[in-house]
C-alpha cells in the first residue's frame, strides 16, 4: 500500500489535472463523488464545456460495511484489466478505460452519464429491444475468446494467473453459496420469511445442488468472466448497452455470468408483481423480461456454436459434437447460478433495489417469497434439463 491515499473531491480533481492529459491546460474543472455501489468511490470530473470523465478509486475496505471489512486494492487492477481485455473483444459493449494507476487503485473511465443504469429503467417498466442481443453477444464473445477453445494452453494459463482474484472470489463464494444456506450474521431478511428460510436451511437436496455449483465456481477456469454482471452494472440507451464494474472478474465457469444476468432479470420479474401499475402493464413487462431471457439464452448458444465452428484452435475441441456438449452444460450451469443469485439477493447481505424499493411490506414479502421459491426450483431442476428448450419450459412452468 506504499503510496496509496484515499482521494477527496479536490484531490481527485488535482489528480486528473496533473496526472493525465484528458483536459486542456486552461480547463476549469469541477469534481464531485457520487458512488452508490457497495465497494468504491466514484467521482465525476467535468470542465466548463460539460466534457467529463469518471474517476473510480478502490477503498482498502468494502464501502457498504466500512473499515471492519478490509478488501484488497488489487481489485482496481483486475477491474481495469478485465475492461481492457473485454473491450478489445467487444468495444461497443464495454466502458472505455482512459487511464489506470494500480498503486492508487485509480481507474479513469469514459463518462456514461448520458445513458441510464438498466436496473432503474427496468424498475420504471422501461424496455430495451436490443438488450438481450447485446448482452448475449458480449457474453458469448468475451467467454469464447478467453476460453481453451481459442487460446493456446500456455497463454491461457498465464492469463488465469494474471486474473487470479482470490479476495473478491471469496466474497462470492461466501455470499452466493454459503451464507444463505445457514444461519449467518451477514444474512439480511425480514422476520416474515423466517419459516421459509429455516426450511431452506434444512433442504439437503438443495444444499447438495448448491455445493455442486460452488465446486464449479471454485474449480472451472473456463473463461475470463465479468464476475458480477447484474442490472446495476449495465448502462443502456435506446441503441446500446455498456458494461461496467468487473472487479469480481476471474477465470471461472462461463454459465456464472449468463446466470447472474438472467437472475437479475428474474428478480425484476418478481418485483413487477408489486411494482407494475396495472395488470396489463405487469403482463407486458413480464412478457418482455421472459423474451429477454429466452433471446439472450438462445443467441448466446447460437453465437458460441458459430464461434466454435469457425474459430476453435484446439484440435480435440474441434471434434464433432464437443462444442454442443460444452454449451449445453454452460446453459444448465447458468440456470443453476441464476437460482443462487435469486436466493442471495433476497436473504443474503446484498439485496437489489427492485425488491427492497417496494414500499408495501406485505407486497415486498410476497415478492421475496416468490424469488426464493423460484431460485430453489431452478437450482434443483436445471441440472436435469437436456436442452435450452427444456430450460425455457422449466422457467415457464415455474412462473405460471
Ligand X SMILES: Nc1ncnc2c1ncn2[C@@H]1O[C@H](COP(=O)(O)OP(=O)(O)O)[C@@H](O)[C@H]1O
Ligand Y SMILES: CSC[C@H]1O[C@H](OP(=O)(O)O)[C@H](O)[C@@H]1O
Give the residues lining the site for ligand X (CB under 6 A).
35-40, 42, 54, 95, 109-113, 117, 232-233, 244-245, 247
40 is in an annotated binding site: yes
C-alpha cell at 176: 452466493
Q: Which helix (H) or strand (E) holds 27?
A: none
Question: Does 39 participate in binding ligand Y (rule CB under 6 A)?
Answer: yes
Query: By C-alpha distance, which of 80, 149, 85 is closest to 314?
Result: 149
How far is 219 from 169, CA to CA, in rounded Å? 12
What length does the chain have?
Answer: 400
CB of 39 to ligand X, least distance (A): 4
Site for ligand Y in 138-177 (CB under 6 A): 171, 175
38 among annotated binding-site residues: no
Rounded to whole angstroms, how far apart are CA atoms 86 and 141?
A: 9
Nearer to ligand X, 95 or 391 (CB): 95
Which of ligand X, ligand Y, none interacts with 109 (beta carbon under 5 to 8 A by kind)? ligand X
Shortest approach of ligand X to residue 223 CB, angstroms? 22
Look at residue 124 and give the partner it binds from ligand Y, ligand X, none, a contact being a CB closer than 5 to 8 Å depending on partner kind. Answer: none
- Tally Cβ neighbours within 10 Å of residue 118: 26
Q: Which is nearer to ligand Y, 37 or 87 (CB)?
A: 37
Helices (H), the chain: 9-19, 74-89, 118-123, 131-144, 153-162, 166-172, 194-201, 204-219, 255-275, 279-311, 322-347, 353-356, 361-381, 388-399
110 appears as a binding residue in the annotation: yes
- Whose cell is 475441441? That residue is 317
Annotated binding-site residue? 344: yes
Cell 443453476 belongs to residue: 336
Distance CA 374, CA 378 (A): 6
Segment interacting with ligand Y (CB under 6 A) among 31-39, 50-58, 120-128, 155-163: 31-39
The least distance separating ligand X from the CB of residue 318, rounded to whole angstroms, comes to 39
How many residues sit in the footprint of ligand Y (CB under 6 A)? Answer: 13
Contacts of 84 (CB under 8 A, 6+ apart): 97
Per rule CB under 6 A, is residue 38 in the interface with ligand Y?
yes
Contacting ligand Y within 245-264 (CB under 6 A): 245
First to last CA, the chain: 53
Binding status of residue 62 toward ligand Y by CB under 6 A: yes
Nearer to ligand Y, 39 or 371 (CB): 39
- Using an 8 Å Cβ cutoff, are 181 and 201 in contact? yes
- 111 labelled as ligand-binding? yes
From residue 329 to residue 368, the character string flagging contacts with ligand Y as x (rule: CB under 6 A) and all else as - is: --------------------xx------------------
Is 246 annotated for ligand binding?
Answer: yes
Give the C-alpha separation, 45 to 200, whole Å: 47
Q: Which of 400, 136, 141 is nearest to 294 (CA)?
A: 136
Closest distance of CB 303 from ligand X, Å = 26
The residue with its CB nearest to ligand Y is: 38
Partner that binds at residue 244, options ligand Y, ligand X, none, CB closer than 5 to 8 Å by kind: ligand X
Binding positions for ligand Y, rule: CB under 6 A: 37-39, 62, 64, 171, 175, 228, 232-233, 245, 349-350
Residues tagged in the binding site annotation for substrate: 228, 344
Binding residues: 40, 56, 110-112, 228, 245-247, 344
Amino acid at each position: 500500500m506504499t503510496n496509496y491515499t484515499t482521494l477527496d473531491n479536490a484531490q481527485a480533481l488535482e489528480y486528473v489535472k496533473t496526472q493525465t492529459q484528458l483536459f486542456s491546460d486552461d480547463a476549469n474543472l469541477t469534481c464531485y463523488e457520487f458512488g452508490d455501489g457497495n465497494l468504491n468511490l466514484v467521482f465525476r470530473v467535468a470542465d466548463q464545456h460539460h466534457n467529463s470523465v469518471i474517476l473510480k478509486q478502490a477503498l482498502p475496505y468494502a464501502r457498504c460495511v466500512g473499515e471492519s471489512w478490509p478488501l484488497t486494492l488489487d481489485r482496481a487492477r483486475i477491474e481495469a484489466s478485465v475492461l481492457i481485455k473485454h473491450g478489445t473483444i467487444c468495444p461497443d459493449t464495454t466502458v472505455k478505460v482512459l487511464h489506470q494507476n494500480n498503486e492508487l487503485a485509480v481507474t479513469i473511465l469514459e463518462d456514461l452519464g448520458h445513458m441510464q443504469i438498466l436496473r432503474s429503467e427496468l424498475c420504471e417498466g422501461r424496455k430495451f429491444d436490443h438488450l438481450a442481443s447485446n448482452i448475449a453477444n458480449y457474453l458469448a464473445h468475451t467467454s469464447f475468446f478467453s476460453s481453451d477453445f481459442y487460446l493456446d494452453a500456455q497463454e491461457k494459463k498465464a492469463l488465469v494467473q494474471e486474473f487470479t482474484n482470490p479476495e473478491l472470489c471469496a466474497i462470492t463464494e461466501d455470499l452466493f453459496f454459503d451464507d444463505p444456506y445457514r444461519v449467518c450474521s451477514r444474512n439480511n431478511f425480514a422476520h416474515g420469511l423466517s419459516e421459509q428460510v429455516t426450511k431452506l436451511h434444512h433442504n439437503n437436496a438443495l444444499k447438495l445442488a448448491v455445493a455442486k455449483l460452488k465446486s464449479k465456481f471454485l474449480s472451472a477456469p473456463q473463461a475470463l468472466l465479468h464476475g458480477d454482471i447484474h442490472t446495476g452494472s449495465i448502462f443502456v440507451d435506446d441503441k446500446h448497452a455498456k458494461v461496467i464494474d468487473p472487479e469480481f472478474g476471474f477465470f471461472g465457469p462461463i454459465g456464472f455470468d449468463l446466470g447472474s444476468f438472467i437472475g437479475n432479470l428474474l428478480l425484476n420479474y418478481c418485483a413487477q408483481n408489486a411494482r407494475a401499475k396495472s395488470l396489463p402493464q405487469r403482463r407486458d413487462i413480464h412478457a418482455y423480461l421472459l423474451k429477454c431471457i429466452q433471446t439472450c439464452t438462445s443467441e448466446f448458444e447460437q453465437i458460441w456454436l458459430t464461434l466454435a465452428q469457425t474459430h476453435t484452435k484446439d484440435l480435440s475441441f474441434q471434434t464433432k459434437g464437443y462444442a454442443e456438449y460444452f454449451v449445453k452444460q454452460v446453459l444448465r450451469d447458468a440456470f443453476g447460478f441464476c437460482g443462487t443469485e435469486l436466493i442471495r439477493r433476497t436473504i443474503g447481505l446484498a439485496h437489489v433495489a427492485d425488491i427492497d424499493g417496494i414500499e408495501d411490506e406485505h407486497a415486498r414479502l410476497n415478492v421475496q417469497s416468490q424469488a426464493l421459491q423460484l431460485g430453489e426450483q431452478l437450482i434443483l431442476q436445471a441440472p436435469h434439463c437436456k436442452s435450452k428448450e427444456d430450460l425455457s419450459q422449466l422457467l415457464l412452468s415455474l412462473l405460471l
